[in-house]
């Protein structure tokens, strides 16, 4: 069925744009899914549409205890996590640096950066122990952003958090390169999900643009001049985590319609 057949995959942010696309692709490849997001009802709806083994646990990724519970659940069900995809995230309104709301900035750093650290702190010891005992390797894929490898005017706190995710990714990759765990980051830009749509809607509401003009404004710096699809990003996430991709670690891969090529 595919490289993921029989593998146990933990996915945060499962009911969001990339989360649903990743879940569908992994289910089609015969993976077993441990799905988490804020809303249990949405998780259950997602799982009902997937033809694979699923476990759904709602919770807030800012709570370190959630990650411990998720890893323990995977250990009990499958002997551990084969691939963890730390995908949950939030954006913030457009502000220049002096105007960034302090409470919002704290929240963005907590959800987009610290929660990835809490997740890896739960995932890595379990993955390492299993590797030591059985030789079975594992992989972590963190969702950073193009804003994690380049500055992002008007979303500076988000950009700072995502740069932090790239730093965590590279550091953990080097620490665990000989301990059976690959760690990579995917850095998308401008894919058509609720997160990007919220920015387009805000431009329509605040700047008097039509939806078409607002979208054209978003993609004006993208050589492909279009938004990406969630599926185009999801396939890169799967590739980064795939056991067939065994020599890649510590990378921050842009999926950006060519933005970083120019």
Ligand X SMILES: NC(=O)c1ccc[n+]([C@@H]2O[C@H](COP(=O)([O-])OP(=O)(O)OC[C@H]3O[C@@H](n4cnc5c(N)ncnc54)[C@H](O)[C@@H]3O)[C@@H](O)[C@H]2O)c1
Q: What residues contact 123, with CB distance under 8 A and at least 6 apart?
A: 10, 67, 71, 81, 84, 138, 140
Q: To the nearest whole angstrom, how small is the minimum distance from the Cβ of residue 21 to ligand X?
A: 8
Q: Which of 41, 47, 45 lies closest to 11 in space, CA to CA?
A: 47
How many beta carbons lie within 10 A of that of residue 51, not counting itself?
Answer: 9
Residue 234 found at the interface with ligand X (CB under 6 A)? no
Give dist(CA 113, CA 162) in Å, integer: 7
Among residues 4, 131, 158, 176, the one annotated as catalytic is 158
Residue 7 found at the interface with ligand X (CB under 6 A)? no
Q: To the nearest whole angstrom, how small is the minimum distance from the Cβ of residue 234 to ligand X?
A: 9
List the helix and strand counts (H, then E) for the chain: 9, 7
Residue 145 found at the interface with ligand X (CB under 6 A)? yes
Q: To the nearest whole angstrom, how small is the minimum distance from the Cβ of residue 189 to ligand X?
A: 5
Give dist(CA 90, CA 92) in Å, integer: 7
Q: To the nearest whole angstrom, how small is the minimum distance from the Cβ of residue 146 to ligand X?
A: 6
Residue 13 found at the interface with ligand X (CB under 6 A)? yes
158 in catalytic set: yes
Residue 24 found at the interface with ligand X (CB under 6 A)? no
Give dist(CA 141, CA 133) in Å, integer: 23
Residue 111 found at the interface with ligand X (CB under 6 A)? yes
Residue 195 found at the interface with ligand X (CB under 6 A)? yes
Residue 203 to residues 98, 187, 211: CA-CA distances in angstroms?
A: 21, 23, 8
The number of CA neighbours under 13 Å toward the Cβ of 220 is 6
Tokens of 70: 């998720």
Residue 256 found at the interface with ligand X (CB under 6 A)? no
CB 112 within 8 A of CB 130: no
Q: To the nearest whole angstrom, how small is the minimum distance from the Cβ of residue 130 to ligand X?
A: 25
Strands (E), 54-125: 54-56, 83-86
> Where does this chain touch ligand X (CB under 6 A) — which range of 77-85, 87-95, 127-135, 171-179?
87-95
> Where does this chain touch ligand X (CB under 6 A) — which range of 14-22, 44-52, 95-103, 203-211?
14-22
> Nearest residue to ligand X, using CB?
16
Residue 90 found at the interface with ligand X (CB under 6 A)? yes
Site for ligand X in 47-86 (CB under 6 A): 60-62
Catalytic residues: 158
The contact set with ligand X (CB under 6 A) reads 13, 15-19, 37-38, 60-62, 87-90, 111, 143, 145, 188-191, 193-196
């Amino acid at each position: 069925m595919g490289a993921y057949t029989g593998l146990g995959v933990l996915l945060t942010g499962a009911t969001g744009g990339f989360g649903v696309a990743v879940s569908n692709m992994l289910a089609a490849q015969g993976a077993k899914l441990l799905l988490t997001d804020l809303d249990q009802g949405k998780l259950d709806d997602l799982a009902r549409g997937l033809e694979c083994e699923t476990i759904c646990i709602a919770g807030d990724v800012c709570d370190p205890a959630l990650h411990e519970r998720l890893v323990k659940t995977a250990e009990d069900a499958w002997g551990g996590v084969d691939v963890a995809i730390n995908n949950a995230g939030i954006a913030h309104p457009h502000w220049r640096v002096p105007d960034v709301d302090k409470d919002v900035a704290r929240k963005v750093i907590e959800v987009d950066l610290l929660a990835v650290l809490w997740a890896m702190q739960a995932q890595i010891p379990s993955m390492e122990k299993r590797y030591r005992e059985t030789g079975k390797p594992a992989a972590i894929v963190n969702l950073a952003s193009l804003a994690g490898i380049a500055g992002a005017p008007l979303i500076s706190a988000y950009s700072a958090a995502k740069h932090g995710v790239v730093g965590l990714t590279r550091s953990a990759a080097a620490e665990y390169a000989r301990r059976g765990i690959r760690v990579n980051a995917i850095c998308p830009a401008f894919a058509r999900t609720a997160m990007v749509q919220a920015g387009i809607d805000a431009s329509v509401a605040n700047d008097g643009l039509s939806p078409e003009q607002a979208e054209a404004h978003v993609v004006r710096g993208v050589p492909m001049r279009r938004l990406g699809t969630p599926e185009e990003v999801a396939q890169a996430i799967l590739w980064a985590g795939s056991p067939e991709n065994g020599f890649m670690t510590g990378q921050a891969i842009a999926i950006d319609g060519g933005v970083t090529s120019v």
